[in-house]
Amino acid sequence: MIVAGVDIGSLTGKAVIMAEGSIKSSGIVLSKPIPQETAKLVMSETLDKANLKMEDIDYIVGTGYGRMKVPFANTDVSEISCHTKGAVWLVPTVRTIVDIGGQDCKAISVNEKGDVRDFVMNDKCAAGTGRFLEVAARVLGLTLDELGPEAFKATKPSAISSQCCIFAESEIISYLAENRSIPDLAAGLIRSVVVRIISMVKKVGFKKDLTMTGGVAKNPAIVKFLEVEFGEIMRMPIDPQLVGAVGAALFAGERLLKESNRISEVIK
């Protein structure tokens, strides 16, 4: 049984191929303007890594904001369900999931059975998302990869009060005019995102263990600041960007098994 999960996000497309309950290959690509193109590209790369062809895959589930635009998927499942499924499979003891992607952020509470107990989601604006950090980093003359390391150099983090990208950009420009240091501004930006995340987590109720998914989880400063706030080491056993695709692949396995059992019953 070979299955796959394809997670089409606003900034990246991810795919995971699983066989016999383990990850066989995975891939991450930058998103194209057309989601269908992103899906085809990331799936092609992931198939090549596994030395497989599309016809070798028995079932495919799409997820992410572009989940309905995966042309070769058998079905689609919400990203909240997939991130939870993937996180629980990777960290069975997880009870709180923070997911931050390019255009939204979520806090998910998981019960003892590994199901979603509650969640809150910010998808109305870019506040606290990867896009917010991308815009702010550009004003500072930094790349996203440089933002976290710079934040660790801060001696007196600046208070960034605006969550709106546009207002935050104006605030940063004003601080730069006051000769505030780049590290202090970078740390202020990170803290503004962390404050928002903490507020969301409190709404669903924080419980150990904690994990983080999505591309922003690759920012070491955000991870560290959250660990300090919650007094909990973040558990991330694989690339956090792949968790949603892992969950989608797991759902694919379950759906395939159900369909196989249904066919067996009909034949009997």
- Helix (H), strand (E), coil (C) string for the chain: CEEEEEEECCCEEEEEEEECCEEEEEEEEECCCCHHHHHHHHHHHHHHHHCCCHHHCCEEEEECCCHHHCCCCCEECCHHHHHHHHHHHHCCCCCEEEEECCCCEEEEEECCCCCEEEEEEECCCCCCCHHHHHHHHHHCCCCHHHHHHHHCCCCCCCCCCCCCHHHHHHHHHHHHHCCCCHHHHHHHHHHHHHHHHHHHHHHHCCCCCEEEECHHHHCHHHHHHHHHHHCCCCCCCCCHHHHHHHHHHHHHHHHHHHHHHHHHHHHC
CATH 1.20.810.10 holds for 1-91+238-268: no
Instruction: Evaluate whether 63 touches 79 at the Cβ level (below 8 Å).
Output: yes
d(C-alpha 69, C-alpha 141), whole Å: 35
Residue 221 has pLDDT above 60, yes or no: yes
Higher pLDDT, 112 or 124: 112
What whole-number distance in Å separates Cα of residue 6 and Cα of residue 12?
A: 11
pLDDT at 266 over 80: no
What does the block give as tokens for 233? 């080491």
The band of 80, judged by pLDDT with boundaries at 50, 70 and 90, is very high
Average pLDDT rounded to a whole number, residues 32-39: 96
Q: Which CATH architecture has domain 93-236?
A: 2-Layer Sandwich (3.30)
pLDDT for res 84: 97
Asked if residue 6 lies in contact with residue 18, where contact means CB atoms within 8 angstroms, the answer is: no
Q: Give the mean model confidence (pLDDT) for residues 240-255.
A: 97
Q: Which residue has the higher pLDDT, 259 or 58?
A: 58
Average pLDDT (244-259) is 95
- Tokens 């998914």 — which residue? 213
Overall pTM surpassing 0.85 (yes/no) = yes
> How far is CA 97 from each of CA 3, 52, 85, 88, 189, rounded to the nearest angstrom?
25, 32, 11, 9, 21
Query: Is residue 252 a contact partner of residue 4, using CB atoms and an 8 Å limit?
Result: yes
At residue 182, the pLDDT reads 96
| pLDDT above 70: residue 79 | yes
Instruction: Give me the pLDDT at residue 123, please.
Output: 61
Instruction: CATH 3.30.420.40 in the chain: give the residue spans.
Output: 1-91+238-268, 93-236
Q: Give the residue-averaged pLDDT of 173-201.
A: 92
The pair phi, psi for residue 32, each rounded to 5°, is -90, 165
Q: What percent of the chain has pLDDT over 70?
A: 94
**What is the average per-residue pLDDT within 183-206?**
92
pLDDT value of position 170: 85
| Interval 140-163: pLDDT, tens | 999 988 999 999 999 999 988 766
Query: In this prediction, what percent of the chain has a pLDDT beyond 90?
Result: 72
Residue 259 confidence (pLDDT): 82
Q: Is 188 a residue whose pLDDT tops 80?
A: yes
**Count of CA atoms in the C-beta half-sphere (13 A) of 155:** 2
